[in-house]
Amino acid sequence: MRVLVTGGAGFIGSHVVEALAARGHEPVVFDARADPAHDVRDADAVAGALAGIDAVCHQAAMVGLGDGVRDAAEYVGRNDLGTAVLVAAMAGRGIRELVLAGSMVVYGEGSYACPRHGTVRPGPRTVAALDAGRFEPLCPACGAPLEPGLVAEDAPADPRNVYAATKLAQEHLAAAWARATGGTAVSLRYHNVYGPRMPRDTPYAGVASFFRSALAAGRAPRVFEDGRQRRDFVHVRDVAAANVAALEAGTEPGALTAYNTGSGTPHTVGELAHALAGACGGPEPVVTGEYRLGDVRHVTADSSRLRADLGWKAETGFEEGMREFAEDGAARSAR
């Protein structure tokens, strides 16, 4: 297949390009970093880029928690308007296959169980609770401590920041396109992706990137809250492989299919900081008690549907991946 990869010069997109080529496909990069004219919001540019294309891997997005709501218009413009322009152009060109870079942020908090009330969904954490160091959500019915679990794709969406809201809107746009055209749309809901070429030192980089940058400068990683918040850290090459698997699978036409894309092995943010510190030979992490209001406490993936339907599984283990990630950071710092 000849596959247009929006955001193909970026962190995840560049790995998708390599994975496609390794499988014998012909990736075509569309990315404003490679060419300023490649703006996914430019209808003429997108329509031109889709000539001769069989499928699209839509990776282009503004990512991360960013700067609260002050950059909301930029997020909506890049993510939602960009996706709307893309699917409209795909409909015009008769292209019927789309893989979307989705995100686990659409869930808000992850899955929780109360000993008394079973599965519950806690509300957003309050400033008062966070200021007091009460980071764990409580049962909304009885106030009891909750046990976090794996979140599945049928969990209700509950986006809790601007970025999350735009990622959910992207899925709705892709689903509307699939229904209208009979196309196949897959949203890979990425969990915490890390690995070579990850951006650094911006408000939009992931926590792994911030920790690595601190260690490269000889500083201790600063861990927010108490470091016990759980995430699923998945290597970028595994995510790229999931994109190729989704393109080759031929999923149900006329609908959007969502797949959690995680390693399947939760780790805490504190464990991440310690693993990177050990791999970098740097200072031990410092737990600060600070917080970001838009963050959730625990969200980890049940990726069994992706494994069952597409035959995909994560191949890079946590310790191995962290060593490689640390080495990549050292190599980039030496340049």
Residues tagged active-site: 163
Return d(Cα 122, Cα 30) in angstroms, integer.
40
Distance from C-alpha of 242 to C-alpha of 9, rounded to nearest angstrom: 18
Let me know: does 249 contact 141? Beta carbons within 8 Å.
Answer: no
Counting beta carbons within 10 angstroms of the beta carbon of residue 238, is it exposed (0 to 12), middle (13 to 18) or buried (19 or more)? buried
Tokens of 276: 């990177």
Looking at the DSSP bridge assignments, the partners of residue 26 are 2
Residue 46 corresponds to which tokens in the numbers above?
Answer: 């997108």
Cα(328)–Cα(333) distance, integer angstroms: 9
- Nearest to residue 54, comparing CAs of 90, 15, 16, 104? 90
- Check: CB of residue 191 under 8 Å from CB of residue 235: no
Which of 54, 50, 96, 100 minimizes the C-alpha distance to 253?
A: 96
How much is the CA Rg of the chain, to the nearest whole Å? 20
- For β-strands 233-235 and 286-287, DSSP reports them as unpaired
Token couple for 180: 């209208």
Give the Cα-Cα-Cα angle 128, 133, 137 (nearest 5 degrees): 75
The residue type of 266 is: P
> Quick one: which of 331, 335, 105, 316 has its CA closest to 212?
331
